[in-house]
Structure 1
Amino acid sequence: MLDIAEELNRWVGQGRDFAVATVVAVGGSAPRRPGAALAVDADGTAIGSVSGGCVEGAVYELCRQALEDGESVLERFGYSDDDAFAVGLTCGGVVDILVTPVRVGDRDRPVIAAGLEAAASGGATALARIVTGPADLVGRALLVRPHGSGDNGSYGSSSYDSGSYGGGSYDSGSYGGGFGAHPELDRTVAAEAGAFLDAGRTGTLEIGEQGSRCGAPLTVLVESSVPPPRMIVFGAIDFASALVRVGKFLNYRVTVCDARPVFATEARFPEADEIVVEWPHRYLERTQVDVRTVLCVLTHDAKFDVPLLRLALRLPVAYVGAMGSRRTHLDRNARLREVGVTELELARLRSPIGLDLGARTPEETALSIAAEIVADRRGGSGVSLTGAHTPIHHDATSVPTGRIGSVA
């Protein structure tokens, strides 16, 4: 749901009734990840997608039904061996979809509205909803946000102010009515959702109805919405200009840093979110990074590279890559060893940067770098899918246990 928060937030502001279908879990080659959503308002307007087209029509009708009866429902759509053209995923996948009505006056609308507003404004927030369990709990929502981002207890049935995004810790915070079940369930889910938010992750968790690991099981979907991850490009060269464009396409917040003011200009990098004129290692010392940050070192100049990489390889970031020929790479590694960089730290360095695409132009090179970043993030091999026996999607969340309706 939070992936279409901006438009849904407008719908809330306009007082519209709507229903949201959200991907809870996938198996096989399902095209969309957990958290992907399709919404339908009372006039029949639809936004978003849950399957790339395979089951949109059936899900649309489920949304219309939820608007009429006010009931949340969980449905499973999968491939039909008997009839590949039946309602299902002809790509061979399985997808579980939670359909939730969000109507004016519904008990969970204030909670969902608060989550949509936070996500639409670029804030960090996690929305937890019960997917399987007692009928009176399915669809109930709980909101988790970092400290200082909202008023505790101000969202009607459930609100939490829990920890700080970006490596902070989370507690259960204070809350209102929560899920309307055992109070320990609210506290436990708030803590678990805080951990999901800290990692910027969307997925499901299994928990007992009273908030413990035993008792009647519940499945809870936790959707996290966090600010875009950072890409910091060091070296204001032509290749950097192309990489900035690709980084923005991949939804990174892109910073360009170079010590030379004649090159680090807005005119040369109009699409960058930030341009910094400073020695690279000094900027990296003072700026905020996290486990999603990617660092691309394109300077290939030892006086910049060595102090920068010495620091970068010791930071808890997602990716560190450095441009240069293989000869430059060997020379740079020797210099890094001389200043105390260990072999374990050197093993983190992607150099020469990028995948082997035969790239020559700045745009092709930027594509090569971006492909390596994506492969590194998703656990891909980087090999051609043609003739390979590797999964197409490497990070699909497993289908939750419990009784789920089946279509096709």
Structure 2
Amino acid sequence: MLDIADELNRWAEEGRDFAVASVVSVGGSAPRGPGAALAVDSGGTAIGSVSGGCVEGAVYDLCVQALQDGRTVLERFGYSDEDAFAVGLTCGGVIEVLVTPVRADAAERPVYAAALAAASRGEAAAVARVARGPAELLGRVLLVRPDSSDSSGASTSHAGGPGVSHEGSLGGRPELDRTAVAEARALLAAGRTGTLELSEDGARCPGGVTLLVESSVPPPRMIVFGAVDFATALVRVGRFLGYHVTVCDARPVFATRVRFPDADEIVVDWPHRYLRRTVTDDRTVLCVLTHDAKFDVPLLEAALRMPVAFVGAMGSRRTHEDRERRLREGGLGERELARLRSPIGLDLGARTPEETALSIAAEIVAAREGGTGAPLTGSRTPIHRDGGGRGSGAVGAREAA
């Protein structure tokens, strides 16, 4: 749901009724993971996707029905051996979809509105919904924030402990609420979306209540060092992938808004000095395109000692060998040097700045998702890794939960 928060927030502000269908779990080969959503408003407008097209029509109908009867339902879609074109995932996967009406008369509407507003503003927040359990709990929702006040500034309850606030309830059961807030807080801290199995009294044990927890966190950072032509294309690709992109260069004549209109931020400073004073985390991507020793060696000495997600540097193989020698002389060990991806990018035969940016982006995605970078043709590795290894036996086209 939070992946389409911008549009849903607009619907909520306009007072529209809508229903949201969210992927709860996937098995086998399925195109979208938990949290992916499709929404339909009372006028029949649809946004988002839960399956890349396989079961969209059936899910659309479920949303329309939910708007009419006000009922939350959990549906299962899977491959049908008898008819690959029946309502199901012809790619062989299985998904469970939670369909929730968010009508003006719903008690949970203010919680959904607050969650969508927070996500659309890029604030950190987690939404926990009951996807499986007693009928009276299905669709109940909690909003968890990493601060001590809601969006209006009013204080809220602190079931998760100091530094955490929440809005809403999973059915007025304090122990369940306390456990759900604590678990949602842990997923929010990791920036993850997933499901949790809890008992009705809040204990962690399967078979009681299944929660779908969606996390909304500020976008990860991509910092591009070197205001060169290749950086212009990489900035565009980084924005397309959802990164907050910063360009840093010590030369003010090159680091300009005219040259980088798509950058979120442009910094004129020595790269290593800026890196040491800016905020990074384990999702941050650093792309060093300067291929000039006086800039990139001190920068990489700092970068390779930081817990960031990706450090890559442009340059020829000869440049890389010289750079690596200088880094060793600067005190970096083999473990730190092994983190450096240089020459940066996958081997696509790229020549233009746009092609080079694509090759760099491909390596970043492969590193983040554990991909090999090899062609899928002839490969036996899972296409959708989140669902890999969990099995995908043939099931009925649709099964009501």
For residues 114-134 of structure 1, the C-alpha deviation after alignment (integer angstroms, 9 at most, x for no partner) is: 100111112111101011111
For residues 8-38 of structure 1, the C-alpha deviation after alignment (integer angstroms, 9 at most, x for no partner) is: 1121112211111001111222112211111
User: Counterpart of 1:218?
Assistant: 209
User: Counterpart of 1:338?
Assistant: 329
SS of the equivalent of 1:68 reads: helix
Given residue 61 of structure 1, which amino acid in structure 2 is its aligned partner? Answer: D
TM-score by length of structure 2 reads 0.93
SS of the equivalent of 2:19 reads: strand
| Aligned residue among 239, 243, 247 for 1:252 | 243
User: Counterpart of 1:112?
Assistant: 112
SS of the equivalent of 2:20 reads: strand
Given residue 223 of structure 2, which amino acid in structure 1 is its aligned partner? Answer: I
Task: Report matched runs for 1:31-70 at 5 Å.
Answer: 31-70=31-70
d(CA) in 1 for partners of 2:53, 2:175 = 40
The farther-off stretch of 282-291 and 170-179 is 170-179
TM-score by length of structure 1 reads 0.92
Distance 1:151 1:227, change over 3 A: closer
Please say if residues 129 and 213 of structure 2, whose CA atoms lie closer than 8 Å, have aligned partners that are also in contact: yes
SS of the equivalent of 2:39 reads: strand
Distance 1:295 1:81, change over 3 A: same
For residues 218-246 of structure 1, the C-alpha deviation after alignment (integer angstroms, 9 at most, x for no partner) is: 11101111111110000111111111111
User: Counterpart of 2:102?
Assistant: 102
Q: How many Å apart are 1:65 and its aligned residue? A: 1.4
d(CA) in 2 for partners of 1:379, 1:254 = 23
Distance 1:176 1:244, change over 3 A: closer
d(CA) in 2 for partners of 1:207, 1:191 = 12
Please say if residues 78 and 396 of structure 2, whose CA atoms lie closer than 8 Å, have aligned partners that are also in contact: no
SS of the equivalent of 1:221 reads: strand
d(CA) in 1 for partners of 2:89, 2:44 = 24
Q: How many residues align?
A: 396
Sequence identity percentage = 71
SS of the equivalent of 1:386 reads: coil
Distance 1:332 1:177, change over 3 A: closer
User: Counterpart of 1:385?
Assistant: 376
User: Counterpart of 2:24?
Assistant: 24
Q: How many Å apart are 1:196 and its aligned residue? A: 1.2
User: Counterpart of 1:192?
Assistant: 183
SS of the equivalent of 1:395 reads: helix
For residues 253-299 of structure 1, the C-alpha deviation after alignment (integer angstroms, 9 at most, x for no partner) is: 11010111111111111111111110000000111111111000011
After the TM superposition, list the runs of 4 or more consecutive aligned residues in structure 1 that deviate by more than 3 angstroms: 151-155, 158-162, 170-177, 396-400
Please say if residues 209 and 215 of structure 1, whose CA atoms lie closer than 8 Å, have aligned partners that are also in contact: no
d(CA) in 2 for partners of 1:173, 1:53 = 38
Distance 1:173 1:374, change over 3 A: closer
Q: How many Å apart are 1:399 and its aligned residue? A: 7.7
For residues 323-368 of structure 1, the C-alpha deviation after alignment (integer angstroms, 9 at most, x for no partner) is: 1111111111111111111111111110111111111111111111
d(CA) in 2 for partners of 1:378, 1:285 = 27
Root mean square deviation, CA, Å: 2.3
Q: How many Å apart are 1:213 and its aligned residue? A: 2.0
d(CA) in 2 for partners of 1:118, 1:97 = 23
Distance 1:218 1:4, change over 3 A: same
Please say if residues 71 and 101 of structure 1, whose CA atoms lie closer than 8 Å, have aligned partners that are also in contact: yes
Given residue 46 of structure 1, which amino acid in structure 2 is its aligned partner? Answer: A
d(CA) in 2 for partners of 1:249, 1:79 = 32
Task: Report matched runs for 1:342-361 at 5 Å.
Answer: 342-361=333-352
The farther-off stretch of 388-397 and 83-92 is 388-397
Please say if residues 144 and 159 of structure 1, whose CA atoms lie closer than 8 Å, have aligned partners that are also in contact: no
Q: How many Å apart are 1:95 and its aligned residue? A: 1.0
Task: Report matched runs for 1:270-309 at 5 Å.
Answer: 270-309=261-300
**Where does structure 1 lack aligned partners over 5 or more consecutive residues?**
163-169
User: Counterpart of 2:306?
Assistant: 315
Given residue 92 of structure 1, which amino acid in structure 2 is its aligned partner? Answer: G
SS of the equivalent of 1:33 reads: coil
For residues 92-128 of structure 1, the C-alpha deviation after alignment (integer angstroms, 9 at most, x for no partner) is: 1111100001111212111111100111112111101
User: Counterpart of 1:166?
Assistant: none
User: Counterpart of 1:165?
Assistant: none
Q: How many Å apart are 1:174 and its aligned residue? A: 5.1
